[in-house]
Copies of this chain bind each other. A is one copy, B any other.
């Protein structure tokens, strides 16, 4: 049965939850596996193999792969199949350039309208991140923190785009954590952003955010430079 050592063994458990459709289910599991790095870039995603693993037919798999392609998580070529998008220094720079454009805009729009409850939520997430040992969940918490600060921006599509780019960065976050260890400085930035947001000081919060993103992008660029040669 166990085709020996398929890359898809890393798909992980079925992510307990209620799914409206099989397509949503397959998409969610695949997306989590890609973002958390369990399915590395370049992994071929055969429809039939995935269908068998998920216990569904090939059709929901096909639709899920299309959705992931739209999110730039897999590359599809007609009649040749889907492959997990490769990560690279160029792609990391690309993703961070997008975040660097979107997130300051979202933060500027959001800060004047942030409710105290939303700020408290952000503060709780910071504490949860201090206590989180697992890198996989750390990415989720990091996303949640950033989105909590942007949540009041209105502009649903801007927020959706921002969330998608933040998720894409999760694939690089593990490198960041590996390089800096757990005592990375991000939490200082997060606290500074939260403080500025509480004070209603949008320019300062934006400045911290931009430095935060630049630092992260720089760290990942150095990581690739040191590794890839």
Interface pair B72/A70, CB less than 8 Å apart: no
**Pick the contact of A70 from B21, B67, B100 — CB < 8 Å?**
B67
Q: Which of A6-24 contact B (CB under 8 A)?
A: 20-21, 24
Q: In the complex, what distance in Å separates the CA atom of A155 from the CA atom of B217? A: 14
Which residue of B has the minimal Cβ distance to A98?
B158
Q: A155: which B residues are within 8 A, CB to CB?
A: 93-94, 97-98
Does A91 count as interface, using CB distance less than 8 angstroms? yes
Q: Tell which of A42-50, A101-109, A132-140, A182-190 binds the partner.
A: A101-109
Interface pair A100/B105, CB less than 8 Å apart: yes
Interface pair B21/A161, CB less than 8 Å apart: no
Q: In the complex, what distance in Å separates the CA atom of A36 from the CA atom of B179? A: 49
Does A57 count as interface, using CB distance less than 8 angstroms? no
Interface pair B70/A71, CB less than 8 Å apart: yes
Does A214 count as interface, using CB distance less than 8 angstroms? no
In the assembly, how many copies of this chain are there? 2
Q: In the complex, what distance in Å separates the CA atom of A161 from the CA atom of B21? A: 28
Given A62-B63, A66-B66, A101-B102: 14 more A-B contacts, CB < 8 Å: A20-B78, A24-B78, A59-B59, A63-B63, A70-B70, A70-B71, A90-B154, A91-B157, A94-B154, A97-B109, A98-B155, A100-B105, A101-B101, A101-B105
Q: Using CB atoms and an 8 Å cutoff, list the residues of chain A in contact with chain B.
A: 20-21, 24, 59, 62-63, 66-67, 70-72, 78-79, 90-91, 93-95, 97-98, 100-102, 104-106, 109, 154-158, 161
